[in-house]
Amino acid sequence: MQAFDYVAPGNLAEALGLLKEKGDRARVLSGGTDLIVQVREDKRRVALMIDVKRIPELMELRFEAGRGLTLGASVPCYQLYESAELVKAYPGLIDAAELIGGKQIQNRASFGGNVCNSSPAADSIPALIAHSAVCRIAGAGGTREVPVEDFCVGPGKNVLKADEMLVSFFIPSPPVRFGAHYLRFIPRNEMDIAVVGCGVSLELSADHRKCVRARIALGAVAPTPLLVESAAAALQNQEVSEETIGRAALAAQAAARPITDMRGTAEYRRHLVGVLTKRALRKAIERAKEA
Amino acid sequence: MPGKVHVTAIINGEKREFLCEPLQTLLEVLRDELKLTGTKEGCSNGNCGACSVVLDGLLVDSCLVLGVEAEGRSLVTIEGLMGSDGLHPLQKAFLENAALQCGICTPGFIMAAKALLDKKPRATEAEIRQWCAGNLCRCTGYDKIVRAILAAEKSM
């Protein structure tokens, strides 16, 4: 394992100063469940490890009903599913938090780290996109906001500049009659990487018969997680039925650009997109009716 | 060349100080610096759970934590489980139920089970199996491990 220096700054300004000084030779350390493995396997060169878990903004978890959730980039997954109000308000995020790794991983790994690792198969990303999450980024030049669907630009690549870091997500409070779901296909029960992942959210009309709006996101079927607007459009202002769910699934299949690799063939993945999109929508509809 | 860092942490209820290089994982610090070899190295990439320890009340893989991150934290390893009256009920139950063969995964499983029973003293079989998804055993087929944890629940 390569040698590096370690610092654990107590405030954001100090961390940003170090990033500006060291540039891409520095890496931000949250839960370390990806980064420490990558450094050990020499897949990433690091001269300075900046542990950001002592910075209040990175560990913030604040929900204001009617407004939204501020989720610090380093907040570990378990804090989401241990909060009763978040379980109720953000079901899609909870689904993802509960299926990333085992308990040991969920106690360390953060959504911020998962998003910055920018794997096409990241479980948190389709869920965050479904919930309309926005990345709050800070850098030497100030702060900016980027919707999660625009954050990744390729496998392992994202919009962060060398002097920038992800500070938190802002996730708006869901409207009434809202439901969301994230699910993935893996060939076992736990502890695996998604062959395909699908996150959806939707809002029903007062009589529960129509879908007012929807968001459908896919993982592991393109170089980055995808927001599939054509699939959402198949549902928007339509009657909720197996027929419209089927049309949305077909649109999602058409938008997927999967590759063949050790986890599955392109053809198999495209099939899974249809199956998972339908299952995710049915579950989200069920949740919206209960909400 | 980065220098060694001085770290102070509470380990198994005792204040311990150690020097470690930033690149050393907590697992390496425990085994190589502090000679606490009860915690085992399996995969060293977060898949097998053999190196599970409880850090500030949370079950973690010590191979995925840097030793320097332990500064000011409280840590419990398998060595911290035995009380003045002998083995921990989980340790006894693993022996009595023959829940181990080669033994490499055992400390990790016992730490995982302890973290579960601290949260949920009457966990069901399904909850035990789900909770232990991050711990791999290549000998037992898991069944005797699950039986041992259920037996420990009854004795606690």
* Secondary-structure class of domain A178-290 per CATH: alpha beta
Q: From the list A51, A104, A189, which residue is nearest B60 (CB)?
A: A104
Q: Does domain A56-172 have CATH number 1.10.357.10?
A: no
Which of B44, B45, B131 has its CB closest to that of A103? B131
Cα–Cα dist B27/B97, whole Å: 28
Fold match between A5-51 and A178-290? no
* Inter-chain CB proximity A104 and B45 less than 8 Å: no
- Return mean pLDDT, chain B: 96
Taking CA–CA distances from B24, the nearest residue in chain A reads A1
**Facing B5 at nearest CB: one of A6, A76, A102:** A6
Report the percent of chain A where pLDDT is more than 70. 100
The model's pLDDT over A48-97, given as tens digits with 9 standing for 90+, comes to: 999 999 999 999 999 999 999 999 999 999 999 999 999 999 999 999 99
pLDDT for position B3: 84
Q: Does residue A197 contact residue A187 with C-beta atoms inside 8 Å?
A: no
Residues 42-61 of B with CB under 8 A from A: 44-47, 49, 52, 58-61
Domain A5-51, CATH number (from 2.40.50.140, 2.40.400.10, 3.40.50.1220, 3.30.43.10)? 3.30.43.10
| Interface contact B5, partner A, CB < 8 A | yes
CATH topology of domain B5-80: Ubiquitin-like (UB roll) (3.10.20)
- Domain ranges, ordered by start, for chain A: 5-51, 56-172, 178-290
Query: Could A108 and B65 be called an inter-chain contact, meaning their C-beta atoms sit closer than 8 Å?
Result: yes
B133 neighbourhood in chain A, CB within 8 Å: 102-103, 189-191
Chain A CB contacts of B115 below 8 Å = 103
Range with the poorest average pLDDT among A2-6, A224-228, B49-53: A2-6
- Mutation pick from A30, A39, A103, A106 vs chain B, by most beta carbons of B within 10 Å, is A103
User: Chain B residue closest to A37 (CA)?
Assistant: B45
CATH homologous superfamily for the domain B89-155:
[2Fe-2S]-binding domain (1.10.150.120)
Nearest CA in chain B to A8: B69
Instruction: Read off the pLDDT of residues B49-60 as tens digits, 9 standing for 90 and up.
Output: 999 999 999 999
Nearest to A32 among B49, B59, B65 (CB): B65
Pair of tokens at residue A281: 């929508």
- Extents of the domains making up chain B: 5-80, 89-155
Q: What is the mean pLDDT of chain A?
A: 97
Asked whether the CA dihedral A62, A66, A67, A73 is positive or negative, the reply is positive
In this complex, do B64 and A32 lie within 8 Å of one another by their Cβ atoms?
Answer: yes
Which chain B residue's Cα is nearest to A101?
B134
Nearest to A32 among B66, B71, B130 (CB): B66
Return the percentage of chain A with pLDDT > 90, whole number.
93
**pLDDT tens digit string along B14-25?**
999 999 999 999
A196-204 vs A178-185, strand pairing mode:
antiparallel
Across the interface, do B58 and A102 touch by the CB < 8 Å criterion? Answer: no
Note the pTM of the prediction, 2 decimals: 0.97
